[in-house]
Amino acid sequence: MTILKIAYRNICRNKRRSLMTILAIAVSSLSVLLFGGNISSIIYTLQTGYVRSAGHIHIYRKGYSQYGSANPSAYGMEDYGRVTQLITADPVIKPQLRLVMPFLAFQGIAGNFVADTSQSFFGMGIVPSLFEKLMTWDQYHMKVTKTDVSTGLQDPDLSGGVIGYGMAERMDLCGALKLDNCAARPQVKKETAASAPTEDFSALTREDFPEKNTEGTGDTAHLDLLAATSGGAPNVVSVSLRKAIMMGTKAFNDGLIIMNLDLAQKLISGRGAKKVTGLMLQLNRTDDMEMVKKRLQQILPPDDYEVKTFGEVRPMYGQTISMFTTIFGFIALIMGVIVLFTTINTMSMSVMERISEIGTARALGLRRSAIISQFVGEGFLLGTLGSTLGVVLALVVSFTINLMEVTWTPPDYATPILLSIHMFLQPFFLPVCWLGLISVATLSSVFPARNASRMAIVDALRHN
């Protein structure tokens, strides 16, 4: 007969109490696992979202991150073709690299003069084929939203672009883009001819790019984009909108235009040398990010380039992780304390009920340590049963929730994302939680067991 077999029989003596203890441990384990699994899924969803839209690592001209946003063209990168070649040829980076894409980020004013609407926007010039690939990154096999988005842009479509859904609504492009569920703008009375500007800035387009003249009109949705060129002069191009898509954050959904890099360069570089804001690197695995960053810093002259990971570009990622980790730590602590007290209570009661048995066992020759082992064995068994039950319940619940595809909208988000629970993304999470609660239950039975073993044998025997 092993300690565990004896422990099992003793546990069965007071089935109700043991069951309550096991359930308390199971519920603690369940909540830690579900909460942790949800947090880890939020963190990996966020990461997946960032990596799908902006890659892992950005390379900028030195000084861009500090001064660049106010003067993007001055900190633009002209030799991006050469740098791309350098990166793709590097034997260390190459195996980890999924893609490198030049991009041009800028701001300007967009106007839809058919509807008399205009607003400021964020512009993002991308290479459509690479951008499509960027958006399919899926290291963690995450389903972020119910419907997956694609820009549908083609490399040869030099003036093509897509727009955020919210911006399309505001710019009164619902009809032109054939959008469903579009908040149709109430018709505003046209201003009188006297107060209306005699000419809109789309006239500039005709001067600069006369071949685009007819394209923007008619059935196709298009916007005229105004921005400052590298030289500081205003410049205008027309973007042909192929689609409106739901962008993740509200700011992007209401103001982002993604377009062919060629068009963005026409707008920003004008007739000057074509520049980009930087290069976006997407790796196969996020785990290699720091390594690749170090390597990039070795092969690129540090006086000319800066290398930033997505966490550095968007500090909110790290902040979100530490916030959730803190909350999780707190919850795990509380659950651990609950298990601790529940087990101490249960084991103290078992000890009290069995004092004369303890005396008998000691008289028969059991050492103190053997008495402790016996009770610790019971705590271990309760902990194992409870913790394992918790894992099973958590698997069932998380599987069900993932299957139900419940969605929620994170703060500042435009689109709801899937509420999912992933307990296997961090390989040690589940085993550590499982073993952690078992250890707590086991350890908490040590105190009552120690007290029991220290009783005077004659007193224990008289205890009937």
Partner 1 sequence: MAETQFVVRLNNVTKTHMLDKVEIQALKGITAEIPRNKFNVIIGQSGSGKSTLLNLIGCIDTPTTGSIEVCGKNTALMSDDEMSDFRARHIGFIFQTFNLMPVFSAYENVEYPLLVMKTPSAERRERVLATLEKVGLADHRDKFPNELSGGQRQRVAIARALVKQPELVLADEPTANLDHRTGTEIIELMQKIQAQENTTFIFSSHDRNLITNAEDLFMIMDGVIL
β-bridge mates for residue 235, sequence order: 227
Tell me the per-residue interface mask from 421 to 460 with partner 1, x by CB under 8 A, - otherwise: -----------------------------------xxx--
Instruction: Give the shortest CB-35-to-partner 1 separation in angstroms.
Output: 38
Closer to partner 1 by CB, 255 or 359: give it.
Answer: 359
Tell whether residue 10 is a contact of partner 1 (CB under 8 A).
yes
Give one DSSP letter per residue of 31-74, joined into a string: HHHHHHHHHHHHHHHHHHHHHHHH-SEEEEETTHHHHGGGSTTT
- Span interacting with partner 1, options 50-58, 114-122, 363-371, 392-400, rule CB under 8 A: 363-371
Given 250, 368, 410, 413, the residue binding partner 1 (CB under 8 A): 368
Return the residues of window 13-72 that contact partner 1 according to CB under 8 A: 13
Tell whether residue 4 is a contact of partner 1 (CB under 8 A).
no
Tell whether residue 9 is a contact of partner 1 (CB under 8 A).
yes
Could you give the count of Cα atoms lying within 13 Å of 165 in the half-sphere of its Cβ? 15
Closer to partner 1 by CB, 159 or 346: give it.
Answer: 346
Other Cβ atoms closer than 10 A to 162: 27
Given 357, 416, 419, 426, the residue binding partner 1 (CB under 8 A): 357
Other Cβ atoms closer than 10 A to 429: 19
Q: How many residues does the chain have?
A: 464
Can you point out the beta strands (E) in 149-267?
160-164, 221-228, 234-245, 256-260
Q: Give kind and range of the element (H or E) at residue 335.
A: helix 316-353
Tell whether residue 360 is a contact of partner 1 (CB under 8 A).
yes
Given 232, 364, 403, 428, the residue binding partner 1 (CB under 8 A): 364
Instruction: Give the shortest CB-366-to-partner 1 separation in angstroms.
Output: 6
Can you point out the beta strands (E) in 229-277?
234-245, 256-260
Given 27, 366, 393, 446, the residue binding partner 1 (CB under 8 A): 366
Tell whether residue 273 is a contact of partner 1 (CB under 8 A).
no
Return the residues of window 370-399 that contact partner 1 according to CB under 8 A: 370
% helix / strand / coil in the chain, to the nearest 5?
Answer: 50, 15, 30
Given 195, 198, 214, 464, the residue binding partner 1 (CB under 8 A): 464
Residues in contact with partner 1 by the rule CB under 8 A: 1, 6, 9-10, 12-13, 356-357, 359-370, 456-458, 461, 464
